[in-house]
């Protein structure tokens, strides 16, 4: 067992009301080297779950575990990539990647950062500042920064959600190459069905109100995966069918009597 989520429930207290339970009794495992996506409608608790695994938030019940040990705080065994690259604007690209390597001597940290900039094809921009880069390039820097600390697992929270369609497609290819080269375990949050099929070995589909895993899909299509592959199209339709019910539930709750399907 590498990474596991073991009976995890998360509730948030609400003023004057019962606590709001985002998800209940989540149970799943991620194997070493696996690329797993968590796919689900808005508000089902994907980010909250990733924060618990990252040690940024605590579960109400249950535990997330790395190699059997409960996760209680952030640690260098887990690297994060968020939707916004969150680079430090006053540091160069190289300095941003070196930032998490302060425990090493400078020459060593520099070499590791350069190697990771090469991995994301940005070594030419080592001395540039974040504002000189495109959105896709900034996200590549944040992937390099997360990988440079050599985490056991990379936690990615809708990392391409803010990018335009062309850049997003480029990033899919880039991430696939990185995953094949590094064989890192990746847990990837998305609400994009196509993205999850393109990238993952396995997709965990989350439902909502309260959040739970409603189905798992193994993706056995050989990589790189053409979106017009018959199995791809079939899987997309299957996932959509399962997701539709969940989306309807959210719409009914949010729009109330104004909702008509």
Can residue 210 be called a binding residue for ligand ATP (CB under 6 A)?
no
Does the protein bind ligand ATP through residue 253 (CB under 6 A)? no
Q: Among residues 6, 24, 10, 23, which one has the least CA distance to residue 68?
A: 6
Taking CA 124 as the corner, what is the angle to CA 121 and CA 127, rounded to the nearest 5 degrees? 125
State the nearest-atom distance from the C-beta of 51 to ligand ATP, in Å: 8
Binds ligand ATP by CB under 6 A, chosen from 48, 139, 142, 200 = 48
The answer to whether residue 47 forms part of the interface with ligand ATP (CB under 6 A) is yes
Judge whether 43 and 49 are in contact, CB under 8 Å. no
Kindly give, in sequence order, each residue whose CB lies less than 8 Å from that of residue 93, ignoring residues fewer than 6 positions away. Answer: 87, 117, 122, 125, 126, 127, 128, 129, 130, 133, 141
Minimum gap (Å) between residue 40 Cβ and ligand ATP: 6
Q: Which is nearer to ligand ATP, 45 or 130 (CB)?
A: 45
- Round to whole Å and give the CA distance between 202 and 29: 11
For 115, half-sphere exposure in the C-beta direction (CA atoms, 13 angstrom radius) is: 13
Which range binds ligand ATP by CB under 6 A, 28-36, 37-45, 169-177, 240-248? 37-45
Residue 15: φ, ψ to 5°? -65, 125
Among 24-32, 39-47, 175-183, 194-202, the segment contacting ligand ATP (CB under 6 A) = 39-47
* Interface segment toward ligand ATP; rule CB under 6 A; list 41-49, 72-80, 127-135, 216-224: 41-49
**Closer of 52 and 137 to ligand ATP (Cβ):** 52
Can you give the binding site for ligand ATP, defined by CB under 6 A? 12, 22, 40, 42-48, 191
């Amino acid at each position: 067992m590498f990474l596991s989520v073991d009976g995890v429930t998360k509730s948030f207290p609400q003023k004057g009301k019962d606590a709001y339970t985002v998800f209940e009794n989540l149970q799943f495992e991620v194997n070493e080297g696996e690329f797993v996506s968590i796919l689900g409608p808005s508000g089902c608790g994907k980010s909250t779950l990733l924060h618990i695994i990252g040690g940024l938030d605590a579960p109400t019940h249950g535990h997330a575990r790395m190699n059997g040990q409960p996760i209680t705080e952030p640690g260098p065994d887990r690297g994060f990539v968020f939707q916004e690259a969150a680079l430090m604007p006053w540091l160069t690209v190289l300095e941003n990647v070196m930032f998490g390597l302060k425990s090493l001597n400078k020459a060593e940290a520099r070499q590791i950062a350069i190697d990771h900039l090469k991995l994301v094809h940005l070594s030419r921009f080592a001395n540039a500042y974040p504002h000189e880069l495109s959105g896709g390039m900034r996200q590549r820097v944040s992937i390099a920064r997360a990988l440079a600390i050599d985490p056991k697992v990379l936690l990615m929270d809708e990392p391409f959600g803010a990018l335009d369609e062309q850049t997003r497609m480029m990033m899919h290819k880039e991430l696939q190459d990185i995953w094949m080269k590094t064989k890192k375990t990746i847990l990837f949050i998305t609400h994009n069905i196509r993205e999850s099929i393109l990238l993952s070995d396995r997709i965990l589909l989350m439902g909502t109100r309260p959040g739970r895993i409603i189905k798992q899909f193994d993706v056995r299509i050989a990589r790189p995966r053409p979106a017009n592959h018959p199995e791809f199209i079939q899987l997309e339709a299957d996932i959509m069918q399962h997701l539709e019910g969940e989306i309807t539930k959210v719409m009914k709750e949010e729009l109330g009597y104004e909702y008509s399907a």
